[in-house]
């Protein structure tokens, strides 16, 4: 198996043939967007789960109140 590499050294790889700013900036923006999406999803999930728990507790209180009133 013959592997050929585009870059001769690590420094050349990091420089990306003179386009390093654009290449690494695009990777950074992409990673930042993914991190923001993960954080936002985790926060929304927590909010939804809290709302569900509150609704279930409210419904249980209503059931108990109706059974005591009957």
Tell me, yes or no, if the pTM score tops 0.85.
no
Q: What is the pLDDT of residue 4?
A: 61
Kindly report the length of the chain. 70
Let me know: does 19 contact 26? Beta carbons within 8 Å: no
pLDDT at site 25: 96
Please write the tens of the pLDDT for every residue from 11-64.
888 888 889 999 999 999 999 999 999 999 999 999 999 999 999 999 999 999
Both tokens assigned to 12: 């050349």
Contacts of 58 (CB under 8 A, 6+ apart): none
């Amino acid at each position: 198996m013959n592997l050929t590499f585009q870059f001769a050294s690590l420094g050349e790889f990091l420089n990306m043939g003179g386009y390093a700013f654009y290449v690494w900036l695009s990777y950074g923006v992409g990673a930042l967007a993914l991190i923001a999406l993960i954080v936002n999803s985790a926060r929304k999930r927590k909010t939804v789960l809290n709302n569900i728990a509150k609704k279930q507790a409210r419904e249980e209180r209503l059931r108990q109140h109706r059974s005591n009133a009957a």
